[in-house]
Structure formats: structure tokens, C-alpha cells
Amino acid sequence: MTEYVFPTPQTVAVLVAGSSASFAVRRVFCVGRNYADHAREMGANPDREPPFFFAKPADAVVAAAGTLAYPMMTEDLHHEIEMVIAIGKEGRQIEPQDALSYVFGYCVGVDLTRRDLQAVAKKMSRPWDWAKGFDESAPVTSIRRATEIGHPGSGAIWLSVNGETRQTGDLGDMIWPVADIVSHVSRAVVIKPGDLIFTGTPAGVGVLNPGDKVAGGVDGIAEFHFEIGGAQG
Ligand code: MN
């Protein structure tokens, strides 16, 4: 038995809806610009770009509920509502037509972003890690099993702040649908149970301030409510 100098880190867990079991999170991948209208609002051309990915640490995942800390080091925290794929089987070099069998289920998440840091990173050709991978930057709902809800190819995706709708879209508008996303990730790394993949956000991303009440959801998967806490010193 290995002896550790500190207690081993706690496993990050996401509840599985309709059961007492949890999904142990291994890694978090995110697709950039997967809805044409959002790609355009960020100044990119959606017709010319294959999908690209970035990652968040597993412990960025928290329940999309209660109060989330307003992060350090930013004055421009943004919301990005996204459907999230939960991987349930190991695989590599997966063909799109086989990809859905690797999906355990789906949840709804917010890819919280320190947009001011991302803008600097883009300008300086630096990594996005500090813009995307901070503490509590990946709030998610509980996971719905694909055996229960199937593989959603369409359905409304939305987010509101203080009761005002900010983002609306439809899963059917994703440039790269679920099967293609899983296939692409599996050509870069071996995917394994516990991996989560954020699938991109529709247009309407915007600022979150301390005290804001955030709600969102994807029809047929889940809805959530959380509040942004006070700014940290
Ligand atoms: Mn995103």
C-alpha cells in the first residue's frame, strides 16, 4: 500500500438523477465555438474552423446550486450555458457512428469564464487555463442516464440572469453534434469513464456580477438555479 504524505484528494462526484449513485469525474473537456451565432459574436468565422478543445481541472466541477464564489482575478465573469456529455466507456479513435455507445448520460453546465483574462490570453497568444480553469468554474446539474432520456439531438437550451433571458438556442444548432464531438476527443486522447465534455454555448454570453441569480437548462435534461456570491479580496 502506498503511503501518502497528505490525505489523497477527494473524488469529485456528480449525482446521477433518479438514483443514489454518483458519477466520479475524471477530466473535463470543453468545445470552443460550437454554435455559429456564438462564434460570430466572438469575432470568429464558424464556417472555416474544425472543432477545438480546452480543459478544466476536474475539481472545477461543482453542483449548479446554492451560492458559487465570485472568482478572484477578474472584473468580467461571463456565463456560457452548455449541454455536457458524461462518458461511460473507454475508447480511442472512435468513429462517429459508434460514438454514442460511449456516452453514459447528459447534464447541463455553465462554462464560467474570466473573459478579461481570456481576451489578454488571445491577444498575447497565451493559454486559456486561467480564463477557463479556475475554482468552481464548471457548475453542473445531476446527470441523466442515456438509457433513460436517449441522446438529445434537439431541444431548447437557455440561461437567464435575475429573471431576464440572456441565452437561448437549440441543441440542433450545434455545428458539431455529440457523436462528432466524442469522436474528435477520442482521436486526441483515450476517453474513459468519468470524462465530461462541455459541448459549447449559443449566443448571448454576458457578465455575471456578485448577487446575480442565474437559472438555466436544457429541455429534456435538467434545469438549475444558483447565485453568485460576493467578490473575494
Ligand atoms: Mn464554452
Domain range for 163 is: 13-231
Residue 185 lies in a domain: yes
Can you give the pTM of this predicted structure? 0.97
Residue 139 belongs to a domain with what CATH number? Answer: 3.90.850.10
Ligand 1 centroid to 165 CA: how many Å? 18
Ligand 1 centroid to 108 CA: how many Å? 12
C-alpha grid cell for residue 90? 473507454
Residue 166 lies in a domain: yes
Ligand 1 centroid to 101 CA: how many Å? 24
Q: Determine the straight-line distance between the first and last CA of the chain, rounded to whole angstroms.
A: 41
Ligand 1 centroid to 32 CA: how many Å? 6
Ligand 1 centroid to 63 CA: how many Å? 17
Determine the 3-state secondary structure of 58 from DSSP: helix
Helix (H), strand (E) at residue 30: strand 28-32
Residue 1 lies in a domain: no
- Each residue's pLDDT tens digit in the chain (233 positions)? 899 999 999 999 999 999 999 999 999 999 998 998 888 888 888 876 789 999 999 999 999 999 999 999 999 999 999 999 999 999 999 999 999 999 999 999 999 999 999 999 999 999 999 999 999 999 999 999 999 999 999 999 999 999 999 999 999 999 999 999 999 999 999 999 999 999 999 999 999 999 999 999 999 999 999 999 987 65
Ligand 1 centroid to 198 CA: how many Å? 7
Residue 8 lies in a domain: no
Strand order, beta sheet including 206-207: 113-114, 77-79, 206-207
Report CA 57 to chain centroid distance, whole Å.
12
Instruction: Please tell me the total count of domains within the chain.
Output: 1
